[in-house]
Copies of this chain bind each other. A is one copy, B any other.
Amino acid sequence: MSTLGFALLSLLTRGPATGYQLTRRMQNPIGHFWTANHSQIYPELARLSELGHVTATEGAGPGPRAKKTYSLTARGREALADWLPKPAAFQPRNEVALKAYAAACAADRSRMAELYEQVAADAAAALAAFGEEESTMVEHGWDDISHPKFGNYAVLQLGIGSQRNLHAWATWLASQLRQ
């Protein structure tokens, strides 16, 4: 079982969905911390189905193929419960940080400053969007641990913190590069 498999099981705790819907559902809010394309999701759902972690109910689709709605099975829930408390692997891939390593010895420092000013601007935009999402979530009571969508709120909180940190750092780095 790959991490993607568990990601899909996690998404299915929010209710049954088609592969297409899971592709959308993954974008917000966990898309800030995990992504997958439909080309990766469809074969993985087939594997989960073979393992008995999900079941599919077929119906008429809009295109040439049948539409399959997947649901979590008891076995799937068990597999997820087993995986969740295990220590998580950390696989860092952050190009923005990587570029900072060589930024100061770059030929054109002012262009590097522009890059980090853009990073800061993007972070500010993300924070504005997150702030609105947060308000909506609080209104709906998702900030309560007993609400089934508390996880969405928790992930958003990490996103807010990460973007705030990124904003401060990129602003600092850009100002250093402007000197």
Contact = CB atoms under 8 A, between A and B. Distances in A.
Interface of A: 3, 6-7, 9-11, 13, 29-35, 77, 80-81, 84-108, 111-112, 114-115, 118-119, 145-148, 150-152, 154-155, 157-158, 161-162, 164-166, 168-169, 172-173, 176-177, 179
A165 B161 contact: yes
Nearest to A89: B95
Given A85-B115, A87-B115, A34 B92 contact: yes
Nearest to A97: B33
B172 A157 contact: yes
A151 B114 contact: no
B98 A112 contact: no
Contacts of A86: 115
Nearest to A11: B101
A154 B103 contact: yes
Contacts of A93: 33-34, 91-93
Given A34-B95, A34-B97, A157-B172, 15 more contacts: A9-B102, A10-B98, A32-B92, A77-B107, A88-B96, A89-B95, A90-B95, A100-B155, A104-B147, A104-B154, A105-B148, A105-B151, A157-B169, A157-B173, A162-B165
A23 to B, nearest CB: 15
Contact of A150 (B11, B104, B118): B104
A157 to B, nearest CB: 6
Contacts of A88: 95-96, 98-99, 115, 119
